[in-house]
Amino acid sequence: MKKLPWLLLILLICNHQLIAQSTETKTPEFLKYEHHKWVDSIMETLSPDERISQLIMVAAYSNRGEEHRQEILKLIREQKIGGLIFFQGGPVRQVRLMNEYQAASKVPLLGAIDAEWGLGMRLDTTISYPFQMTLGAIQDESLIYDMGAEVARQIKRTGLHLNFAPVLDVNNNPNNPVINFRSFGEDKYNVTSKSIAYMRGMQDNSLLTTAKHFPGHGDTDTDSHYALPQINHDRARLDSLELYPFREVVKAGIGGVMVAHLDIPALDSTGVPSTLSRPIITNLLKEELGFKGLTVTDAMNMKGVTDGNEPGVVDKDAILAGNDLLEFTEDVPKAIAEIRKAINQGLISQEEIDRRCRKILAVKYWVGLKDFEPTSLENIIEELNTPDANLLNRKLTEASLTVLKNKLNILPLRQLSNLRIASVSIGAEEVTPFQKTLSLYTGIEHFNLKNDASPEEITVVKAKLLDYNLVIAGIHDDSKFPRNTIKMTAEVQEFLRELIEQKVTLVSLFKNPYVMDKLQNIEDATGLILTYQDSRNAQELAAQVIFGGVGATGKLPVSVGEKFKAGEGLPVQGGIRLSYTLPEEVGMDSGILNKRIDSLMQQAINAKAIPGGEVLAARKGKVFFHKAYGEHVYHDTLKVKKEDLYDLASVTKISASMAALMKLHDAGKFELDQTLASHLPSFRRSNKADIPYHDILTHQAGFKPWIPFWKNTRRKNGSYRWFTIKKDSSAKYPIKITEEMYLHRNYPDKIVKEIRKSPVSGEKKYVYSDFFFILAPRVVESMTEPDFADYLQQNFYDPLGATTLGFNPEFPKDRIVPTENDYKFRREPIHGTVHDEGAIMLGGVSGHAGLFSNANDLAKLLQMYLNKGEYGGERYLSAGTIEKFTKRTFPDSDNHRALGFDKPNYNEEGISRNTAQDASLASYGHTGFTGIMVWMDPEEDLLYIFLSNRVAPTRDNSRLYRLNTRTNIHQVIYDAILD
């Protein structure tokens, strides 16, 4: 007990030290080099005027001509300027120019850029990351650090060293015309923490940063590019709000601070711009806040500082106020002369100029200019636009998405079969990426309304929307910058108001959040998603939030009138349906995928193994690769599109028959020890009456592989037998084969009879057979009310949102890929109807063939299998049933099959005959005669779909098998796995 006071004392001391440590100001790293021998050596070579020149940075452009280039070179050679700030242009041109400018300079030049949201702010063919207000909604600040690190890498790759970012202004004025979306928001703590994360990401990667616009440009409705804004708050308010982020970021060790052009009477009553104010720069920033880093002016060509001030003279005044670096000096010789005059007049000492020059040189040492080498141009575009950099961009957008309304938890949407959905994109004249992504999830009718749509156009859309019970409205921006403006006419705004009032409406606002205050009753929408800006990423990801492909975690960084307060945001679950992303998000190498899959597909097309095809791959429930290749048929002008439908051939077995049977198994109606006789009375006295389903589904029942049923309709002379096929349809001949071929209504029964009477081998060995799957619809219908096709639609395809998955597709033919030119049975090219003769004789609906689908819709069903029976928040099949039916049924035999599903099949040397060598033993799938392959691997949570029409124009084309294209591509996907 006697020791307790000592322990308490130790704890108090430690706690005090922690507090002191947390409030201690971190000195910028570069300052340790102010008296480095390299800095000393450079200083010795500089004349007094050249030391002044080191404080000057002029504007450079890589999109201007030879006159500009010569002008910059002259300033470098004659005036010995210290640095350049690059504005508009392109990365290749900029690097080429910067290399030339560095070669012309006596002292390495400090290269800067104003890249608040990355290089894309200034340079073409580079990445623009989200604006700071968008980032203000993000809750995971490690993403913002990562963005800082990536921005640093990219800027350095272009030969530059300093970024004039981040923006620390607290935007609490919705009418701010110059900061607004460039601010992290209105909450000083949010602004501060995100600024520090962004700054550390850059500075930890050797890029100097500047906090701007000191002492705070957020609460003004004047743009300092055109006039001098005035901020009339008292000192207490400025201390508690505007100055707070700057104070904290100085403590955190930021390298630079940029001073704004502002009139702030509470800080300097003289009315001079803050850039020229000694009380603001020297007294407040340097002495009171303790900032020792690089103090930079905002651009010295802006009207906020130039009005009433002469070029050169204004630069001198900025130096006298305490700035270390002049940005965008317009008259360099005059500025040097004026600063020299001030030294001679005793207004500032040469020693002070030298001290600031040393600071500039220390920065140059810290950023690596002591070992300057020309920047390489090789692969620069690729290296600036890496897959990881693009993925980060997507992650930032996803993390910012903010749901402000979610009545009755409508988001993410469920029970799709109960919904009739339309979308309206307002402010867009054609189908948008938002609408295209919505269509990946289910059938949606799309409409567009211009901002100035006529009353007649509005009336037409309103009438069409009456047929739908859910409307998704996208409100788009007409500018790449999300201004607080709205250009919708009063009539269009009234349309939106009525829509929200009268319909279940989900609104996705791709605009500045302040716009919501100008839209009447938008807060009454059933669902409201805010994306902050109208980028492609924002559109695609907002659509995915609606259907649960991704979730939403963002929080509103600003208040919107009385409608919404800063900090609002509702969490929405993601991951319940497929999402669509980049390969790197799921640990895949996009370089391997794109190069090698493209090559293999082109090889197959060139070899005329296939006229075209599609490849889709998903991992962890995320589609990371989906491409279409080639043409519908050889020498066609119709290119394959990702929306096209293919004849799935035998993949129908696992996508129709097995889906139905597994569901009936869950219901206790279909057992594996039952037989055909259990469900089909006509088989009770057949040679198949006692064969259990587990033998039938694994193809060891002794059935014949197939029967060419169509041949039995023909006489030896080629004419059709009586009571088989007629040219016209009738009650007796209702089954359509072609426009001029109709099959007798009883012929399907004849097919069943032939199967029933067919011989059975006495040997219990694996022989692949279609027979049971031809019978499967009748087996299913013996246990269900709806027929086979309707049962599948009601229980699987409709609720999955798989609108193209089904029999006898009713789509335009230019969306359906043709198959064979049938010269034997149908005597015409097969296009839009099933390729398999037996399936078409059964009306196009069979359990062994007949399904059509595009890759995306088929993926929904197969992903449900991978999810162990769950998808979209609904359970379709039990996990136990999925596991039972997809594992190898007889592992101790030569039969490699599961129940209805194929499994990896290895030869004596352990080489897989039918799938990628690296596919796990737990994997399963199927192939189709028309050139289809699907495969699922639960161990890697990997889904692979290959669609082609290798039978066009003839089934005799076996080149696809010989090239082994399908399994080679499958192996590429495994080769691309990084984690």
Closest CA to 461 of 418, 485, 491: 491
Residue 38: Cβ-neighbour burial (10 angstroms; 0-12, 13-18, 19+)? middle
Distance, in Å, from the CA atom of 242 to the CA atom of 254, rounded to the nearest integer, reads 17
Side by side, which strands form the sheet with 735-738? Answer: 725-726, 741-743, 735-738
> Which pLDDT score, from 0 to 100, does residue 853 have?
98
Distance, in Å, from the CA atom of 968 to the CA atom of 974, rounded to the nearest integer, reads 10
Question: Residue ranges of the chain with pLDDT lower than 70?
Answer: 1-23
> Which pLDDT score, from 0 to 100, does residue 772 have?
97
What does the angle CA 236 – CA 239 – CA 242 come to, to the nearest 5 degrees? 120
**In this structure, what are the phi and psi dihedrals at residue 445, rounded to the nearest 5 degrees?**
-90, 130
> Which pLDDT score, from 0 to 100, does residue 33 have?
97
Residue 727: Cβ-neighbour burial (10 angstroms; 0-12, 13-18, 19+)? exposed
Instruction: List the beta bridge partners of residue 616.
Output: 626, 945
Distance, in Å, from the CA atom of 112 to the CA atom of 114, rounded to the nearest integer, reads 7
Closest CA to 775 of 867, 853, 839: 839
User: What does DSSP assign to residue 913?
Assistant: S
Give per-residue pLDDT as tens, 813-866: 999 999 999 999 999 999 999 999 999 999 999 999 999 999 999 999 999 999
Q: Which domains does the chain have, with CATH numbers?
A: 25-383 (3.20.20.300), 401-577 (3.40.50.1700), 595-707+758-975 (3.40.710.10)
State the sign of the Cα–Cα–Cα–Cα dihedral 62, 68, 72, 77.
Answer: positive
Instruction: Report yes or no: 550 and 531 within 8 Å, Cβ to Cβ.
Output: no
> Which pLDDT score, from 0 to 100, does residue 23 have?
61
Closest CA to 572 of 372, 366, 406: 406
**In this structure, what are the phi and psi dihedrals at residue 71, rounded to the nearest 5 degrees?**
-65, -45
Q: Which helix (H) or strand (E) holds 756?
A: helix 747-757
